């Protein structure tokens, strides 16, 4: 396959990253050019509020934006792109987060820009925002994202936003006409598109302002002590209100694409109108649905419901998280530990299929996008396409469940020697990682729930028959042959199973302590024939 083949397929693909890229390409029909006509990289942006630490919402927004970025590069034949991770660290601290130290100290700095509040953490960074910004960069680097970090405070303080701020002041009344009808009566009395920073307290003030000289950037306002103050709005002495700030940033940076959550739908509408007033346009972008917890309730950082990214990575892989997030971003997703095992196995199944799929199917395969996410990859092939996992994660969980809550990696690998060639962790690093995840997952979520019941009635004779068959098998028997043996016993009329499902459920409940489980042929191969016979003996002893 050639690059032109990829471009043609990308331009007609129905996969959501390509649909987003197609809309962006339609807007930028001739690519993006600077004022002098020279080519300019297409700019993708993702935003971050550094009042808290990075979380799973941060990850999904950067990942999804990256997927659209790579899709655009593919359908444009390799156009230059940039991804900016923007930190709104000039925002005033509205309340003290529950999960940070030195609460009393922070409470004394409420209202001040996050970048001008002392660092409450035991770290070398010089402000609250600087610490959280460093955590953001460390977080994004951990996942290998290709991005440029841009700080709001750097832009404001250096004067890089000054021209854009002059535009806000010059269009002050037009911006008010957009915003005031969206506000309640009380809020209208204090609302201003631009918030001055108090020269005495350093707080971001929610007060009306008067524009004295838009070009010079001079404003007048009454401060918190009732004093009339006339000062510049430039050079970090003022900050735009949220919706105005978003629009100003789009115009100042030249943002072409930014997605955001459903909860910011109204903000996006108003910011788009303001961007047009400022002489720019709202970027293309996707409005995605939010995460829900296991009960279907919206995930809240303050409530602590749902699953954190660190918790996912305790029990699953980065690839599986990306895979789970990939599907249909316009639908809400329940985010809890129960979805992890299937996400891991589904990711590897999709990745294995890639090598055999025609290109148009590959472009709809989540693994194709995830494998290309962190590098500008030329050509239609995805690195790692066709790779497979020697043992499904679900089967690993069953093995670890039988070994017990105290199972070790060495013990698991000793059993893997029954199932795969060269059962050496160094030869299978991705499987070795998942062994660790399976042990963690079993200890927390499976082991406490396992309870093996005693076999009853015809189940006893069926288990005895299975034990007799296993006693006669030849060494090296395949998993498929073992599966056939299990099937044939379940189909015998004398044992009275209405369906094979009833037989397998009996095996799971008596041997594994669960109401669901793996293909028994594969499990017996992995666990070993003799250890499996021991499980049967232990079950029969309870009868």
- Summary mean pLDDT of the chain: 93
- Give alpha helix (H) positions in 254-298: 265-277
> Is the distance from CB of 259 to CB of 64 less than 8 angstroms?
yes
Sorted by sequence, the CB contacts under 8 Å of residue 474 that are 6+ apart come out as none
CA angle 254, 139, 389 (to 5 degrees): 110
Asked whether residue 356 carries a pLDDT value surpassing 90, the answer given is yes
> Is the distance from CB of 244 to CB of 193 less than 8 angstroms?
yes
Asked whether residue 192 carries a pLDDT value surpassing 60, the answer given is yes
Six token digits for residue 85: 């991770």
Confidence of residue 390 (pLDDT cuts 50, 70, 90): very high
Cα separation, 141 vs 138, in Å, equals 5
Q: Which residue has the tokens 């509040």?
A: 117
Q: Residue 287: helix, strand or coil by DSSP?
A: strand
- For 457-481, how does the pLDDT look when each residue is reduced to its tens digit (9 = 90+)? 999 999 999 999 999 999 999 999 9
Asked whether residue 319 carries a pLDDT value surpassing 70, the answer given is yes
- For 245-295, how does the pLDDT look when each residue is reduced to its tens digit (9 = 90+)? 999 999 999 999 999 999 999 999 999 999 999 999 999 999 999 888 778
Q: How many CB atoms lie within 10 A of CB 386?
A: 14
- For 93-137, how does the pLDDT look when each residue is reduced to its tens digit (9 = 90+)? 988 888 789 999 999 999 999 999 999 998 999 999 999 999 999
Looking at residue 305, its pLDDT comes to 61
Cα separation, 529 vs 505, in Å, equals 20
Sorted by sequence, the CB contacts under 8 Å of residue 499 that are 6+ apart come out as none
Confidence of residue 1 (pLDDT cuts 50, 70, 90): low
Q: How many CB atoms lie within 10 A of CB 111?
A: 17
- For 416-453, how does the pLDDT look when each residue is reduced to its tens digit (9 = 90+)? 999 999 999 999 999 999 999 999 999 999 999 999 99
Residues above pLDDT 70, as percent of the chain: 98
Six token digits for residue 102: 């030195």
Sorted by sequence, the CB contacts under 8 Å of residue 314 that are 6+ apart come out as 437, 440
Asked whether residue 455 carries a pLDDT value surpassing 60, the answer given is yes
Pairing of strands 81-87, 42-48: parallel
Cα separation, 299 vs 459, in Å, equals 44
Sorted by sequence, the CB contacts under 8 Å of residue 140 that are 6+ apart come out as 54, 62, 85, 147
Q: 437: annotated binding-site residue?
A: no
Asked whether residue 33 carries a pLDDT value surpassing 80, the answer given is yes
* Whether this model's pTM surpasses 0.85: yes
Confidence of residue 301 (pLDDT cuts 50, 70, 90): low
Looking at residue 380, its pLDDT comes to 74
């Amino acid at each position: 396959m050639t690059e032109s083949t990829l471009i043609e397929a990308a331009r007609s693909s129905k996969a959501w990253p390509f649909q987003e890229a197609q809309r962006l390409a339609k807007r930028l029909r001739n690519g993006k050019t600077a004022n002098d006509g020279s080519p300019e990289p297409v700019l993708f942006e993702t935003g971050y509020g550094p009042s808290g630490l990075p979380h799973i919402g941060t990850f999904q927004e950067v990942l999804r934006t990256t997927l659209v970025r790579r899709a655009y590069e593919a359908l444009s034949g390799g156009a230059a792109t940039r991804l900016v991770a923007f930190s709104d660290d000039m925002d005033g601290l509205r309340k003290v987060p529950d999960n940070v130290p030195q609460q009393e100290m922070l409470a004394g700095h409420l209202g001040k820009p996050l970048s001008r509040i002392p660092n409450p953490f035991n770290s070398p960074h010089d402000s609250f925002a600087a610490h959280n910004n460093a955590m953001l960069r460390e977080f994004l680097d951990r996942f290998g994202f290709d991005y440029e970090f841009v700080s709001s405070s750097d832009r404001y303080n250096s004067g890089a936003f000054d021209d854009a701020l002059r535009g806000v002041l010059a269009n002050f009344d037009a911006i008010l006409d957009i915003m005031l009808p969206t506000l309640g009566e009380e809020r209208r009395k204090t609302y201003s598109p631009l918030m001055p920073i108090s020269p005495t307290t350093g707080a971001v003030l929610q007060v009306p302002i008067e524009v004295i000289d838009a070009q010079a950037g001079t404003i007048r306002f009454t401060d918190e002590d009732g004093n009339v103050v006339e000062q510049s709005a430039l050079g970090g002495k003022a900050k735009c209100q949220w919706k105005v700030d978003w629009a100003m940033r789009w115009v100042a940076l030249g943002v072409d694409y930014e997605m955001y959550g459903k909860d910011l739908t109204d903000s996006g509408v108003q910011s788009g109108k303001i961007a047009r007033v400022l002489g720019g346009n709202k970027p293309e972008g996707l409005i995605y649905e939010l995460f829900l917890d296991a009960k279907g309730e919206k995930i809240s950082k303050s409530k602590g419901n749902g699953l954190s990214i660190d918790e996912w990575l305790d029990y699953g892989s980065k690839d599986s998280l990306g895979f789970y997030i990939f599907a249909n971003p316009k639908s809400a997703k329940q985010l809890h530990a129960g979805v992890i095992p299937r996400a891991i196995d589904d990711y590897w199944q999709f990745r294995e299929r890639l090598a055999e799929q025609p290109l148009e199917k590959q472009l709809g395969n989540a693994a194709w996008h995830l494998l290309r996410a962190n590098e500008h990859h030329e050509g239609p092939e995805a690195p790692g396409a066709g790779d497979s996992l020697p043992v499904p994660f679900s089967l690993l969980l069953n093995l670890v469940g039988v070994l017990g809550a105290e199972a070790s990696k060495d013990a698991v690998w000793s059993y893997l020697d029954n199932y795969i060639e060269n059962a050496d962790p160094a030869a299978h690093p991705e499987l070795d990682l998942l062994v660790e995840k399976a042990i963690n997952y079993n200890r927390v979520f499976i082991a406490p729930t396992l309870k093996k019941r005693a076999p009853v009635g015809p189940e006893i004779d069926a288990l005895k028959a299975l034990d007799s068959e296993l006693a006669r098998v030849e060494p090296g028997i395949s998993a498929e042959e073992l599966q056939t043996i299990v099937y044939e016993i379940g189909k015998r009329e004398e044992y009275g199973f209405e369906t094979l499902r009833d037989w397998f459920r009996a095996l799971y409940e008596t041997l594994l302590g669960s109401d669901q489980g793996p293909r028994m042929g594969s499990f017996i191969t992995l666990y070993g024939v003799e250890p499996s016979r021991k499980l049967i003996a232990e079950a029969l002893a309870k009868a």
